[in-house]
Structure 1
Amino acid sequence: MQLPQKHSATGTTIFTVMSALAQQHNAINLSQGFPDFHIDERLASALGRAAADGYNQYAPMAGLPLLRQAIAESFQKRYNVTVDPDTEVTITPGATYAIYTAFTAILSPGDEVIVLEPAYDSYIPNIEMNGARAICIPLSAPSFSVDWQRVRNAITPRTRAIIVNTPHNPTGAIWTINDWNMLADAVRDTDIIVLSDEVYEQLVYDDRQHISVLQHPELRARSFALYSFGKVYNNTGWKMGYCIAPPALTTAFRRIHQFLCFTVNTPAQYALAQHLAHATEPIHSIMQRKRDHFLSLMAHTPFTLHTPAQGSYFQVMSYERISDMHDKQFAEWLTKEYGVATIPVSAFYSSGHDDRLIRFCFAKKEETLEQAVERLKNVPTL
């Protein structure tokens, strides 16, 4: 039986590989980006109440009006942008789904999409599954800033879209208003559509501010902005996200969405709508304490810190004083020999480019981080 190969990626994702390796060797899993602590009790209770109260049937295709209105109010309050909950917000089963749906809504065979690497590993397969081609441009390590001249040089008549990510996975870098202005300059007078992956938008540290594509009027008119409740409320297993886009792009998005999943978990939508109205401690404060604690512990290990993460769940560190192994080999060795699982940053490059960097997830309980670092202290230097 011959089956079509829809994309160039082979095997299972590095996240699955490293998590399985961690389980096999009883290692502490700092690889995959999920918290190991409980979600807010009020959110958990709201989910149970919604199910018990009978909210168990199909929600509207675009999402519950109550939740879409709550999202619009949140963006007005946090970013001072007006979002129409009826024509611009669509609830999705996670942000990865939203990324795929946005690509499917706009791409045709032969199109090109600019991807800035290192990049989340679903981007390129999503592009290729739609018959398009990814044009990969490396960010400049160790700051992982954008070389805007290379972006401009990559634009051709076939360029249909560019996907950007801030705060950035895996590096934790964030965009400034200058980055958005440079992007606007690059795509002006073209029909290029922007996909803005902003799933870590509420996880920004050291008094910095996340700047959304929605705050840039020129870009907003041509952009899908993509979000995740899982990263905000530490409930990644709920797989709940949403897409904000201008009406014409939202119409195209929903044209695909209605035939992919049609609708999304109803009791979870009720629970999230209620929880958005609660005043809670900002998640960035909680996560910055975890980042700071992790970095203070890691200062006593032979790993090298180039730049503290400005946002996200993740901290990239170098093992230049420990080994000259390829980063994938090093990550496997670290899991097997010292019982701590990480992600090699080369996994986020289509070429496998290796800067000898690994990614740690610090969205864990303090005791988890402390136990992991106690093991990492034993790693020898060259």
Structure 2
Amino acid sequence: MIDHAVRMQGLTSAIFTQVDGLRKQAAAAGKDVISLSIGSPDLAPAPHIITAMKEAINDPRNYGYTLSKGVPEFLRSVANWYKKFDVDLDPETEVHSLIGSQDGLAHIALCLVNPGDVVLVPDPGYPIFSAGPLVAGAELRLMPLTAENGFLPDLDAIDEATLRRAKLMILNYPNNPLAATAPREFFAKVVEIAKRYQIIVCHDFAYSELVFDGYRPDSFLSIPGAKDVAIEFHSLSKTYNMAGCRAAFAVGNAEVISLLGRLKSNFDYGIFYPIQKAAVAALTGPQDCVRETARVYQNRRDVLVEGFRAIGWNVPKPQASMYIWAPVPTCQSSYDFVVSLIEHTGVSVTPGIGFGPHGEGYIRIALVQPEQRLAEAVERIRNWLGRI
């Protein structure tokens, strides 16, 4: 029997592994599975992005270490791209490359948190928000995200003793898994609290471009004073359909960025240079591909939401992200509903409980199939719900 390190306690992928096992089992049995559980884009990067990567791959000089900071051209392109959010960044001190945003989210607590320190994490929340601090030995304090509060943390409900012990607060808007958005006034209140209690805020902004119906989100860093207390994570995975490339960045407070860079310089040697060249092409090239991606997801959202509403399942219509956060339409738990759904319809989704205790009663649906497959999923679910 191998002894497990204490830091592994609390880390689990059990529910996600079980759901994926059910999906594989159904497919192996010959069932036509419509997989809407994993948020992996099914769309391709724009041609100019692929061309830039091809050209860089064909150059034999581009196969050495790049170092974790990121090449200057990439850092400058990030800083210029961020100007659209009315945020000015110094590419030398306020931008750092990441091998996917999960890289930064996993490691940031190691830079800022000592064992026993408090980290404020959203519940429900993307699993790495909790996993990173747990590995760092933090005590988690869950911030419930409820429909009654617009899926925002109730900042007034956090007691002062917790705020005084907190070193880190993690936020994510537009949100995964909730597809919720946050108003500017909420961010301003977070900045005020973070300054008062000396809390570093880490905002995951990965879905800023997957927005619908004319909605535009604010960067947390655009709030006056935010750079004094915050960094923001962004990724090319969803915006430019480059999920497998693992290209992302952290921006914001120079001291925190420096700490993250120091840690990463001991852990990795940076993003493969051709991927950075592709990222530069994505960030500096034509952005019509981004608008087209958002349009595709908006149309998919409408197919599912309007289809579900037509069969009596009242599902909210989100303004952003590539997900739908839907209440379980039966009297089952979220996990039992997902099991039944796969068994009776071949449609695979993710149970809300996998994202935290306050996820119970909901499921997350990823918009990662063409419209006709989504319409088919609605029809299968309609037929099943009509029989129970």
Q: Is the structural similarity TM-score above 0.5?
A: yes
Residue in 1 aligned with 2:375?
370
Query: Is 2:294 the counterpart of 1:289?
Result: no
Give secondary structure in 2 for the equivalent of 1:116.
strand
Root mean square deviation, CA, Å: 1.9
Question: Map of 1:207-246 to 2, 5 A cutoff?
Answer: 207-246=214-253
Query: Is 2:122 the counterpart of 1:116?
Result: yes
Return the offset for 1:355.
Answer: 4.3
Query: Is 2:319 the counterpart of 1:310?
Result: yes
Residue in 1 aligned with 2:189?
182
TM-score, structure 1 as length reference:
0.93
Question: Map of 1:115-154 to 2, 5 A cutoff?
Answer: 115-141=121-147, 143-151=150-158, 153=160
- Residue identity (%): 24
Task: Give, as a single letter, the amino acid of the residue that structure 2 aligns with 1:309.
Answer: P
Return the offset for 1:214.
Answer: 1.1
Is the 2:191–2:229 Cα contact (8 Å) retained in structure 1?
Answer: no
For these two proteins, the number of residue pairs brought into alignment is 376
Residue in 1 aligned with 2:13?
12
In structure 2, do the counterparts of structure 1 residues 154 and 315 end up closer, same or farther at CA, with 3 Å as the change threshold?
farther
Residue in 1 aligned with 2:64?
57
Is the 1:115–1:163 Cα contact (8 Å) retained in structure 2?
Answer: yes
Name the stretch that deviates more: 167-176 or 237-246: 237-246
In structure 2, do the counterparts of structure 1 residues 37 and 16 end up closer, same or farther at CA, with 3 Å as the change threshold?
farther
Between the aligned partners of 2:345 and 2:312, the Cα distance in structure 1 is 13
Give secondary structure in 2 for the equivalent of 1:227.
strand
1:319 to 300, 325, 328: 328
Between the aligned partners of 2:143 and 2:67, the Cα distance in structure 1 is 39
Query: Is 2:68 the counterpart of 1:81?
Result: no
Give secondary structure in 1 for the equivalent of 2:127.
coil
- Which string of whole-angstrom CA distances, capped at 9 and with x for unpartnered residues, describes residues 277-315 of structure 1? 22132243332222223323333334321x211211100
Between the aligned partners of 1:3 and 1:356, the Cα distance in structure 2 is 33
In structure 2, do the counterparts of structure 1 residues 47 and 14 end up closer, same or farther at CA, with 3 Å as the change threshold?
farther
Between the aligned partners of 2:237 and 2:3, the Cα distance in structure 1 is 37
Give secondary structure in 1 for the equivalent of 2:365.
strand
Give secondary structure in 2 for the equivalent of 1:378.
helix
Give secondary structure in 2 for the equivalent of 1:6.
helix
Residue in 2 aligned with 1:2?
3
In structure 2, do the counterparts of structure 1 residues 245 and 110 end up closer, same or farther at CA, with 3 Å as the change threshold?
same
Question: Map of 1:164-175 to 2, 5 A cutoff?
Answer: 164-175=171-182
Is the 1:163–1:195 Cα contact (8 Å) retained in structure 2?
Answer: yes
Query: Is 2:311 the counterpart of 1:301?
Result: yes
Between the aligned partners of 1:156 and 1:36, the Cα distance in structure 2 is 41
Give secondary structure in 2 for the equivalent of 1:188.
helix
Task: Give, as a single letter, the amino acid of the residue that structure 1 aligns with 2:4.
Answer: L
Question: Gapped runs of 5+ residues in structure 1?
Answer: none
Is the 1:30–1:342 Cα contact (8 Å) retained in structure 2?
Answer: yes
Residue in 1 aligned with 2:30?
none
Between the aligned partners of 2:327 and 2:360, the Cα distance in structure 1 is 8
Between the aligned partners of 2:169 and 2:281, the Cα distance in structure 1 is 34
Between the aligned partners of 2:272 and 2:102, the Cα distance in structure 1 is 16
Residue in 1 aligned with 2:200?
193
Task: Give, as a single letter, the amino acid of the residue that structure 1 aligns with 2:303.
Answer: H
Is the 2:101–2:234 Cα contact (8 Å) retained in structure 1?
Answer: yes
Return the offset for 1:153.
Answer: 4.4
In structure 2, do the counterparts of structure 1 residues 372 and 360 end up closer, same or farther at CA, with 3 Å as the change threshold?
same
Between the aligned partners of 2:108 and 2:328, the Cα distance in structure 1 is 37
Question: Map of 1:11-50 to 2, 5 A cutoff?
Answer: 11-26=12-27, 27-50=33-56
Return the offset for 1:154.
Answer: 6.2
Is the 2:151–2:178 Cα contact (8 Å) retained in structure 1?
Answer: yes
Query: Is 2:335 the counterpart of 1:328?
Result: yes
